[in-house]
Copies of this chain bind each other. A is one copy, B any other.
């Protein structure tokens, strides 16, 4: 790859191998590509004619969200990535006036979410949750190994990293206690990867072998969960209010193309999925996560945030392409801006569990923070942050983070 004229710190995961898309500037929202500590202004680049060769109309880059880019074809997406690399490596005319400071302009929701589906694609997570919620039954339902189980979530409450998360209230029944409406006492996180889908408005089934190219890119996703609300409400129609209060995503959409060097074989699938859901290897992605907790007392005392888990996306049983194929399998329309959460990423070991309900075994074994504070669930003032990245000996691609701080319920006593 050619040299760039942009100063990028050594070892950065924000180099030319990444080039994720986002939207910055609260006062004048515009599309950008992150590079180093900068953000390349796509609207200005388009206005200067530097993106004409992509075949994408200039107006698309003047929109305040990525959806106009998402509805292009994968060929357009590749051409756009090429054009950005050309701008950033052109030896003759460095376009420094196209660069903003990535950190101070304020990151916004990168795209308007169309339909949001949340999956349940980690065998370890689904097994753990089955054991916790239905201790007397087989933890995995008979369907689990035959299709990627998922459900629709609430699109209007998907928010960008940094948005405060208000503790929800709902009808809950504590062990030995009475059913009542109260602030959730078991607020949890779920470490997920979100697939951002484009090239849509189509209503034809797309087999898994052909589905990956419809995925524009990925974000980190935190599927905040109120376990006590969820436990009372979820049968027989699935999670609703225990999840619908907030879902946070990272501000930067990492292009699928940037992850190609990190493709890996997925876990063996047994039984082999039917032909429609079958995907040639490598169907996995070697994305690494850290789940980090920080309490108000830790922040005050200057303690380092505490890494409580290190899940690996390569452990996921069902792949994003298989999830997308599944959504289309009944002819349902896929729209630009569709978002598919992977479900909690959990590995076989406790240090790889992607939710507090697994890490603390539903509160039976709380976490001890560096301050000595114990945590079964999130307290008001706690900040949960998920970071994610891919790395090899020669290459690093950073997702940044998705973070949120819990603010008290207005119903708190």
Chain B residues contacting A151 (CB-CB under 8 Å) are 151-152, 237-240
A179 part of interface (Cβ distance < 8 Å): yes
Q: Does B147 lie within 8 Å of A171, measured CB to CB?
A: yes
CA distance A400 to B327 in the complex (A): 32
In contact, A156 and B330 (Cβ under 8 angstroms): no
Q: Is A402 an interface residue (CB 8 A)?
A: no
In angstroms, Cα B143 to Cα A276, docked, is 37
Are the C-beta atoms of A152 and B244 separated by less than 8 Å? yes
Question: Which residues 316-341 in A have Cβ within 8 Å of B in the complex?
Answer: 326-327, 329-335, 338
Chain A 150-182, CB within 8 Å of chain B: the 1/0 string? Answer: 111111110000000010111100000001110
Give Cα distance in the complex from A133 to B236, angstroms. 10
Is residue A241 contacting chain B, with contact meaning CB distance below 8 A?
Answer: yes
Q: Is the CB of B120 within 8 A of A329?
A: no
List A residues 167-207 near B (Cβ within 8 Å): 168-171, 179-181, 203, 205
Beyond the given A133-B236, A156-B333, please list 20 additional residue pairs across the A-B interface where CB-CB is below 8 A: A114-B155, A115-B155, A143-B233, A143-B235, A146-B171, A146-B179, A147-B171, A147-B233, A151-B151, A151-B152, A152-B152, A156-B332, A169-B331, A171-B274, A181-B276, A226-B330, A237-B238, A244-B330, A244-B332, A245-B332
Q: 9 closest pairs, A vs B, by CB?
A: A238-B238, A168-B330, A152-B152, A151-B237, A237-B238, A245-B330, A156-B333, A241-B330, A244-B332
Q: What is the interface of chain A, defined by CB distance below 8 A to chain B? A: 114-115, 117, 120, 130, 133-134, 141-143, 146-147, 149-157, 166, 168-171, 179-181, 203, 205, 226, 229, 232-241, 244-245, 274-276, 326-327, 329-335, 338
Return 20 A-B CB contacts under 8 Å, by A number. Answer: A115-B156, A130-B236, A142-B232, A146-B179, A147-B233, A149-B237, A152-B244, A157-B332, A168-B330, A169-B329, A170-B330, A171-B274, A237-B238, A241-B326, A241-B327, A241-B329, A244-B327, A244-B332, A245-B330, A245-B331
